[in-house]
Amino acid sequence: MVVSIRVLAGALLAPAALLAQSRAIRVPAVEVHHLASKAVGDSFEIRVVLPPMLPGEATRFPVVYLTDVYGDFALGADMLRMYMVRDVPRFIAVGIGYPGARSILQATRARERDLTPVPVPVAETPGVLPTEGLRPANPPNGGAPKFLGFLRDELIPFIDARYPTKPDDRTYFGHSYGGLFGTWVLLTRPETFNRYIIGSPSIGWAGESILRTVDEYGQRHDELRADVFMGVGALEEPEHLLHLADLLRARKFPGLKLTTQVFPDEGHVTVMPFILARGLRAVFGPVRAEDSFTAGLKRER
């Protein structure tokens, strides 16, 4: 159910020469929706960034779904659009956050509820900073199955019904708990997304239960069809992510394309935009100069 919608101003930064050549570029404003979820029993704030387009263009675009979007995206809406001009194919970005949460600090408990696949006692969870506006105060954790239900049955149909999407072309990005959730979806309902960008996943949750999920999936399935990028900062504990990647590679799943990268001199927080930027290029593949949006504009002249 749509509760409300508002529009935020957006602007595309581009070289003057490009603007002079293609005055018809449209830069749709960021749209914000509030969705009440029956699956989760809570509301979500959804931010939608459409790519730069030409008036009357009938192109349909892949969708990238991103968790932990509060006010803006990890790369910023304008940076995402600029990335689409030359570096990656154009896509629709859908950011998932919580109404009233202006910061990830205010959403710590909600993230713990929605992005962790296995419930654990509160005493075993990481502590949270005493933050004004923390919501909700003390929810149960381990709600990933319900959150996945929200994505599959509520959010994705909502986006497909309202925007020019390619319904069979979806990508997921998540970091920390979001990376844990993405890994769990990859190993339980991999068909939900075609591509996964997984940043610094919280592998230690519930006694590293996600590592056992790799074995459980391998016992039941002979293939895993997805393009996956996993990234982590060198100042974290990268050996945990690399071990997870080794377990996946050891299975030799047909259809799995897995890329990993450790980013030098980056920690758990600072590495996030690098993982998103590099991950988009990895899972979509590099765009040849002649196939970029800029080249297409020149051919329109």
pLDDT digits (tens, 9 = 90+) for 212-247: 999 999 999 999 999 999 999 999 999 999 999 999
Nearest to 151 by CA among 129, 172, 137: 172
Residue 16 has pLDDT above 60, yes or no: no
Residue 67 has pLDDT above 80, yes or no: yes
pLDDT band at 77 (very low <50, low <70, confident <90, very high): confident
Rounded CA separation 176/240 (Å): 13
pLDDT band at 11 (very low <50, low <70, confident <90, very high): very low
**How does pLDDT run across 111-135, given as a tens digit for each residue?**
889 999 999 887 666 655 555 555 5
Rounded CA separation 91/49 (Å): 9
Check residue 158 and give its pLDDT.
Answer: 98
In this structure, which amino acid lies at residue 229? F
**How does pLDDT run across 141-178, given as a tens digit for each residue?**
899 999 999 999 999 999 999 999 999 999 999 999 99
Tell me the domains of the chain and their CATH numbers.
2-300 (3.40.50.1820)
Q: Which pair of structure tokens corresponds to residue 55? A: 């008036």
Q: Which residue is it, tokens 């080794």?
A: 246
Range of lowest pLDDT (14-28, 95-109, 163-177): 14-28
Residue 14 has pLDDT above 50, yes or no: no
Measured in residues, the chain has a length of 301
In this structure, which amino acid lies at residue 111? R
pTM for the structure as a whole: 0.87
Check residue 193 and give its pLDDT.
Answer: 98
Contact 91, 61 (CB under 8 A): yes
Residue 259 has pLDDT above 70, yes or no: yes
